[in-house]
Amino acid sequence: MSAPTVSSRSFGLARAGHVKTPGRDAVRVKGWWLAHRFLVLRRLMQFAILALFLLGPLAGVWVVKGNLSSSVTLGVLPLTDPFVLAQTLATRHWPEAAALTGAAIVIVFYGLVGGRVFCSWVCPVNVVTDTASWLRRRLRITSGRAPRGGLRYWLLGAVLLASAIAGQTVWESVNPVSITQRALIFGGTLAWGAVAAVFLFDLLVAPRGWCGHLCPVGAAYALLGSRSLLRVSARHASRCNDCADCYAVCPEPQVIVLPLKGKDGAGPVITDRECSNCGRCIDVCAPDVFRFTQRFDPRRD
């Protein structure tokens, strides 16, 4: 499926803004666990990964060395952020063999499960931006305007160009993902200030602004997983009661519009690369319209 049109983006954002307590009906119909299971599993995953990185510097137990940009697990498994690798190559420096192997592993994994699974299931900044989104709904803040959806891709290109000109990986000095980890280990006003800036930006300036519109890391992973097998499907779209809870919790509500409504001949599977496979639409949907499937599943009822 091609990128969402402006009208799809506008429609999705408009529907999202009309719901104040998404998931309330799902809790009543399905129970608390089924209405929150993917949210809980994501948080457990995010905090577990963060804990593994913190065990070394804070407790001297080195299960994982490095950070989410580049790491080695148990001394044998290298993992490298493909965006970091791309910046390194842009500097015209050839990376070490371990970095190439680590990037290959990451590319294969996220190429199968969806690139932006990194954003929703791994990245610690997602906790910050999800909290800002939740608080924005609770406080009924409607001011602010999100940047254009394609801006992060321009930023991705700008970062690679800047790396080529500067001869160094320029993004790593300002990357909120790395800054969050440094803030937890070393503290510091500047590090925590950067995390707070992302939170306040999403809360007061642009809804879902950082992850949804600006982060070039998310753009890189979206491109990486654009043909991934694991997808969410609106298979039971006929059950939809137009409550709009899915739009309210989705970080990218525009991706739901066409598959859910079957517009423009769209199938039920959300194949848009911006979908992060977070599973929140599955959680909060009381009539169970959505489910995980593979991208070639055409079934709809």
13-27, 173-187, 200-214: segment of lowest average pLDDT:
13-27
Using CA atoms, how far apart are residues 90 and 160, in angstroms rounded to an integer?
6
User: What mean pLDDT comes out for the span 155-170?
Assistant: 96
pTM: 0.90
Q: How many CB atoms lie within 10 A of CB 19?
A: 18
Using CA atoms, how far apart are residues 13 and 280, in angstroms rounded to an integer?
16
Using CA atoms, how far apart are residues 45 and 41, in angstroms rounded to an integer?
6
Using CA atoms, how far apart are residues 95 and 261, in angstroms rounded to an integer?
46
Digit-coded pLDDT (tens) for 173-201: 889 988 888 788 777 778 888 889 999 99
pLDDT for residue 263: 81
Using CA atoms, how far apart are residues 35 and 122, in angstroms rounded to an integer?
21
pLDDT-derived band at 146 (thresholds 50, 70, 90) equals confident
Pair 249, 284: CB distance under 8 Å:
yes
Pair 230, 292: CB distance under 8 Å:
yes
**Which residue type does 71 have?**
S
Using CA atoms, how far apart are residues 216 and 180, in angstroms rounded to an integer?
16
Query: What separation in angstroms does the CA of 64 have from each of 54, 156, 167?
Result: 9, 28, 28
pLDDT-derived band at 299 (thresholds 50, 70, 90) equals confident
